[in-house]
Amino acid sequence: MAESEEELKSLLMKVKVESEKTGLKLNIQKMKIMASGPTTSWEIDGETVETVSDFIFWGSKITADGDCSHEIKRRLLLG
């Protein structure tokens, strides 16, 4: 998580560099980003990073607009 697009790009590049030091490689095709505001197209090593409007995190749906009504309804239906 980051406060700005620039901060997130910086954090991702640090993860990439440190991972490569141990022989690991980021799978850009599996990577996705979500922002609460407008974003530009992202590329890392010439590969485009997919932008999503929502995702599941630890079993809860997180949305870019912060709307949690869908998650509340889902949990109520589960009992």
Give the integer Cα–Cα distance in Å for 57 and 73.
Answer: 17
Quick one: pLDDT at residue 19?
93
Report whether 22 contacts 3 (CB < 8 A). no
Question: First and final CA of the chain: distance in angstroms?
Answer: 31
Q: Is the pTM of this model over 0.85?
A: no
List pLDDT tens digits, range 35-70.
777 777 788 888 888 888 888 888 888 887 888 888
Domain limits of the chain? 5-78
**Residue 65, token pair as written in the block:** 């607009």
